[in-house]
Structure 1
Amino acid sequence: MPDTQAAMPLSSPVTQEDSLARAESPGTRANVWQRLKQNKLAVGGIVVLVLFYTAALLQPWIATHPYAEITSGMRNTPPSTENWMGTDRQGRDVFSRLIKGGQISLAAGFMAVVIVMLIGITLGALAGFFGGWVDQLVMRFTDILL
């Protein structure tokens, strides 16, 4: 079988200016960032997600009360300087509970992503390594899930 990729001479040598021009041209990442900045809904969604993650990470420092603390004399109170979003029927601070709930939800979502990633990487590696009928089986399984 002849080697089809034998060494072929270049029609013109690559100069340093050519490589610098390619390095300075905006890449795919820059194009994606420009398009993302133009989409106001996407930027708003990113801002909201960053706020949620920041609040969840800073929960011990920004929560006004422990999330499970019950203050019996302060049931169903409106928002105040002591309880930023008021209290519920049992006298628990709504703001602290909201942040704690967000923290739990973000952790559950993160764990789901990690688990699905591990399954996907494992199945993809098996399909790529063995090929043939294993690859076909994994692809049909993926088709069913989609």
Structure 2
Amino acid sequence: MGELARNDSHHILETEEEKVVSPWREAWRSFRKNKLALIGTFIVITFIMMAILAPVIAPEGIDEQKFTEKLQSPSSKHWFGTDDFGRDIFSRVIYGARISLSVGFFSVLGSIVVGSLLGIVAGFYGRWIDTVISRIFDIMLAFPSILLAIGIVAVLGPSLQNALIAIAIINVPNFGRLIRSKVLSVKEEEYITAAKSIGMKDTRILFHHILPNSMAPIIVQGTLAIATAIIEAAALGFLGLGAEAPLPEWGKMLADSKGFLVNAPWTMVFPGLAIMLTVLGFNLMGDGLRDALDPRMKQ
């Protein structure tokens, strides 16, 4: 009887442990059920692997010119054809993934760091600090993002690094306002009041309690912002304000090929498809993360 009782109690404990699922594990289960999100994740991982393995995958260098083979249509030798300098477009598109993904990741990372710090300070301390920071955000958001980016690059000078900085700056208000609103709700929770009552320092409360509980919206917004950053980098490159020759940035490739749209459309089609698929992948993945991490989206 005693052994039977122990087995029953052990079974009950296992059942209770199965019921207790961490929010992140539950979010992962929900994410795996979203087929579109999985497709987007597959697309993103594919482009990331292309960028990492570019020296292995690309058959030629990014600036290997063969004037006798210029503007050749796609073939078994040149899968995506060649451009007006005889360069292999397939190789340049693959190496371009490194540039576009790097700009997307690092610009969004910078926006998250700066925007989160400003949003946390504004939401936690309030009063005049909140007013000043919020008005700065409002002023920045009053300008169309691409025009603000163009203005920043015009001041700093056209280059890939300055384009990255400009994209990071224009996305700061989005993350700042997002974190500020989250902090305003979280700081009213009972455990924050308890932490203050026992004399816990503000920095510890901010970075050990408030920020970890604000990670879900940051992850979702960050994923979607990478897609936007890639488009903005391509737009700046197309306007001649981003990457400079011979770097195979996708927007720059489109700009260099616009004169051959009729006679050699493949010079524009494949860089354009790369931009479209990458942005689509991040958007699908971001939507899936939003559905998995936002309690309001769950039935």
TM-score by length of 2: 0.38
Between the aligned partners of 1:19 and 1:126, the Cα distance in structure 2 is: 43
Percent identity over the alignment is 35
Which residue of 69, 80, 84 maps to 1:85?
80
RMSD over aligned Cα, in angstroms?
A: 2.9
> 1:4 — aligned with what?
none
Distance 1:126 1:19, change over 3 A: farther
Q: Whose relative contact order is higher, 1 or 2, with alpha carbons under 8 Å and at least 6 apart?
A: 2
Partners of 1:133 and 1:58 in 2: how far apart? Answer: 50
Asked if structure 2 preserves the Cα contact closer than 8 Å seen for 1:75 and 1:87, the reply is yes
1:61-86 CA distances to partner (integer Å, 9 max, x unpaired)?
A: 11110011111221222334432222
In 2: Cα distance, 1:129 partner to 1:34 partner? 33
Whether the 8 Å CA contact 1:88–1:94 is kept in 2: the answer is yes
* Residue 35 of structure 1 pairs with residue 30 of structure 2: yes
Q: Secondary structure at the match of 1:82?
A: coil
Q: 4+ runs of 1 displaced by more than 6 Å?
A: 16-20
Aligned residue pairs total: 131
**What corresponds to 1:25 in structure 2?**
20
User: C-alpha offsets along residues 3-32 of structure 1, whole Å, 9 cap, x if unaligned?
Assistant: xxxxxxxxxxxxx97699347632222222
Identify the range of structure 1 (53-62 vs 112-121) with the bigger mean alpha-carbon deviation: 112-121
Counterpart residue identity of residue 79, structure 1: P
Q: 1:44 aligns with which of 28, 39, 50?
A: 39
> Per the alignment, do residues 65 and 30 of structure 1 end up closer, same or farther by CA in structure 2, a change over 3 Å counting?
same
Residue 62 (structure 1) aligned to one of 57, 61, 71: 57
Contact 1:64 1:82 in 2 (8 A): no
Where in structure 2 are there 5+ consecutive unaligned residues? 1-9, 142-173, 175-299
Secondary structure of the residue that 1:84 maps to in structure 2? coil
Shift of 1:138: 3.0
Residue 124 of structure 1: CA displacement?
A: 3.1
Q: Which amino acid aligns with 2:64?
A: E
* Distance in 2 of aligned mates of 1:22 and 1:36: 22
Question: CA separation in 1, counterparts of 2:31 and 2:101?
Answer: 23
Q: Which has the higher helix share?
A: 2
Residue identity in the other structure for 2:104: G
- Asked if the contact 1:127/1:134 (under 8 Å) is kept, the reply is yes
- Which AA in structure 1 matches 2:68? G
